[in-house]
Structure 1
């Protein structure tokens, strides 16, 4: 007789009435997928972010062209220092608004930020075309365009950070090149059109250009997947970070470095026309060349930093920029001035693109969860330097002669040199940290 097979043991549980009830399968926590690091939608996001950078940074980096026109014609009753405040207020809001835009991005408001930012930038530029008084241009360009640009800047960076991992540096290089492209085409359009169709319609053409870029970028942003929300959105400020010597010194260094950085951007065309005696077009083309060279610096630093280290590339760019600015004191020919502008643009591009990478180092940001917050705090300190740098330079240029611009160059060079000295504090800590890590690994 065949042996009976034992009954399988039931894993079903019984309720209070003795009826079997189905046992639930254990719930396994799923790990959220990492960034796709490529693909059509990811690179479309890069393209949309690049267009947003063009819209946001074009008016700011091209302000030197507008300032020269304001000094000579539209706002000739105001000093160069007064007019510089318009551009620096714009740049201040462009950088500092990220302190608020970053946490809103973390909470899933990407489309809201992008839509409002594009709308404010376009509306502000249209209002600039109608403005004839100083306060009107300040409100339209300084506040409206500046805040709108700030709503685009940090979300565009954060979008790329959540879309790429190993290819992040390359993708970020392409995105930041949008700022260089904007800095090239805005002055050139102003040069070519302002004498032909007048200042108001030239500004409207620039606004229509921004509108066209928005009409391309926003549909792309609607089609790509939304970035995942973090479990706990980041804090806006870490007050205890200000007690850390390395982070505090890094903020002071960036405050001083960017206080000097925007001075050449604002005064290159004015120097060319007043001291070198060139026509207005040449000064604007030099500004466009400076911004164009900045794009090559941004892309080049993304490649070189992987081998040499972002901290070493950053220090080299600051030292080179300091030497070049001091060299501005002896420039009296068109050739040397053009070379100065191109080299300064190249090294300043490295300076801008290397900064966010250094912030992510464990010495500056102890854990990945605080990188976003500390990046926002660092850029806010930077924006304060941007705000006051060019107006102080404008107060130095009280008379149109070579001595005034020598004083301006010395002021800018000294400020950047002091910033370089403060930069050595966090970089020295970075070098020690990396050395210990290599020793532990061996």
Structure 2
């Protein structure tokens, strides 16, 4: 009897030792998003959702990234009474509202409002583009409200949920699929500028050209809404206030947000001003129209390859390298003088900016321990970094001035991107120490 009790006690102690060892391993491992509810990597609905998300990026940020065409057209033809800095507020506000609206759409997404957000946001974006076609020359405030405010809100309601929903369909291949979905933005920034340049600057004119563009976007948004599906989580929805308190106590999350904010200030300078820069340097107008196309073609390659490269370098190392490269290339825009320099700058910046953008959402996902709070965390991060997007165009326009002194905004935006990359370095060091 005593021997039996001794064996039972010994077995119990061994079990406790095993549990303690498992506990130590779990506490020492970095937090992961995956739990018993991890999604499988693939399936018809998963890839249909990825395709719909791709189309949403094509029509959302892909259209905003084409604002350089509108910037050039408004500056030279349609809003000649306004300065380039004033005109850039139209695109800057859209670039601000898209990520900042994720503060609301992320919360609603976590609460199960995915389909409502996609439908309402798509309708608002479509109607605002059709309304833009009725604007007349010199009507700055109407264009500002329709193209800047309403279209930006519509895109913002769909942007975050269309990216975050990928995390509910993929786990191991999540970063790869997110980078492929993100490539919809530069592809849109290729197709839309070609279409808009031929429509606005051709025989079609502004009104009918914008309506044709709006019809094209509306058809794709309809397909996107019909394609996407979401999955319910087994874990309860996180409290938004609890997520906010948790985020503000996490130094890596704070540094990631600060670094992205700084980088975003410089990020949109080539996007908004490369075409105008090319034209003002006496380069052929027809070729200048394709400067954004060149940049965004390289951006597609960058976004598609980011998911592959990060498997070897890691997300943080890849983010730091891409942000630093963007800063150096922006500074090199001081040397823009001929067709070859436009091609080199467009290809180089397009690639590294594509890599940079492709890894942002996966990085937020990596720093999120629970899927139920992913939408809220993406919203919090992007709401702060949106201010960088909003300030980018106007600051660059003010530094450029009516004398078109290109070296000043190039130097400013390049340096601030480099500062952002240094903040990412600090974040990496802290994460390394915590592990």
| Deviation for aligned residue 1:43 | 0.7
1:406 maps to what in 2? 407
CA distance in 2, matches of 1:365, 1:166: 15
Greater relative CO (CA pairs within 8 A, separation 6+): 2
* Aligned match for 1:218, one of 225, 228, 236: 225
CA distance in 2, matches of 1:152, 1:161: 15
Is the CA contact 2:39–2:169 (under 8 Å) kept in the aligned structure 1? Answer: yes
* Aligned match for 2:324, one of 319, 325, 340: 319
| Deviation for aligned residue 1:41 | 1.6
SS of 2:133's equivalent?
Answer: helix
1:41 maps to what in 2? 45
| Deviation for aligned residue 1:39 | 1.3
| Deviation for aligned residue 1:339 | 0.9
In the TM superposition, 1:148-297 aligns within 5 A as 148-194=154-200, 195-221=202-228, 224=229, 226-228=231-233, 230-235=235-240, 238-239=244-245, 241-275=247-281, 277-297=282-302
Unaligned runs of 5+ in 1: 1-30, 437-442
**Superposed CA RMSD:** 2.0
Deviation per residue, 1:232-287 (Å, 9 max, x gap): 24516614533544333322211110000011100001101112x12433222111
2:338 maps to what in 1? 333
Deviation per residue, 1:5-30 (Å, 9 max, x gap): xxxxxxxxxxxxxxxxxxxxxxxxxx
Q: If the length of structure 2 is used for normalisation, what is the TM-score?
A: 0.86
Q: If the length of structure 1 is used for normalisation, what is the TM-score?
A: 0.85
| Deviation for aligned residue 1:207 | 0.5
SS of 2:82's equivalent?
Answer: coil
* Aligned match for 2:66, one of 53, 58, 62: 62
Which moves more between the two structures, 81-90 or 317-326? 317-326
CA distance in 2, matches of 1:33, 1:377: 24
Matched, 1:423 2:418: no
* Aligned match for 2:309, one of 297, 304, 314: 304
Unaligned runs of 5+ in 2: 1-34
SS of 1:130's equivalent?
Answer: coil
In the TM superposition, 1:49-198 aligns within 5 A as 49-132=53-136, 133-194=139-200, 195-198=202-205
Number of residue-to-residue matches in the alignment = 397
Matched, 1:394 2:394: no
Is the CA contact 1:174–1:299 (under 8 Å) kept in the aligned structure 2? Answer: yes
CA distance in 2, matches of 1:80, 1:239: 41
CA distance in 2, matches of 1:242, 1:33: 27
| Deviation for aligned residue 1:227 | 3.8
- Tell me which structure has the larger Cα radius of gyration: 1
Is the CA contact 1:94–1:146 (under 8 Å) kept in the aligned structure 2? Answer: yes
Matched, 1:383 2:386: yes
